[in-house]
Amino acid sequence: MTLSDAQRRVDAWISQFEEGYFDPLTNMTRLAEEVGELAREVNHRFGQKTKKPGEAEGDMGMEMADILFVLICMANREGIDLEDSFARMMAKVEGRDAKRWTRKRE
């Protein structure tokens, strides 16, 4: 699935409902919530704040997907093509950081 496919799938889902997309400030708050949920999982796995006894193991992938869903909602609402934005961002990183890191030997 490409980012464009994901944007179309989210739009098909949201477009079924009268409420439509949340406004930008609500989505920004939702994004912060979801980042917090991912942070909680990372902290439980790698940090010092371990889970309470009996607390179920979370799913980092699902938390990342929650973040992506909110980002896609924000992009769709603003008419942003994430496929294009991601390609431009990667081109920037690949140019800027081409000599920054130690290359693996072939």
Q: Which of 22, 30, 37, 42 binds Mg ion (CB under 5 A)?
A: 37
Cβ proximity of 68 and 7 under 8 Å: no
Q: Is 34 in the site for Mg ion (CB under 5 A)?
A: yes
**Closest CB to Mg ion among residues 34, 75:** 34
Minimal CB distance residue for Mg ion: 66
- Name the phi and psi angles at 75, rounded to 5: -65, -45
Classify residue 78 by burial, with Cβ atoms within 10 Å: 0-12, 13-18, 19+. Answer: exposed
Q: Which of 6, 7, 41, 66 binds Mg ion (CB under 5 A)?
A: 66
**CA 7/CA 80 separation, integer angstroms:** 10
The CB-of-24 to Mg ion minimum distance in angstroms stands at 19
The footprint of Mg ion (CB under 5 A) covers 34, 37, 63, 66
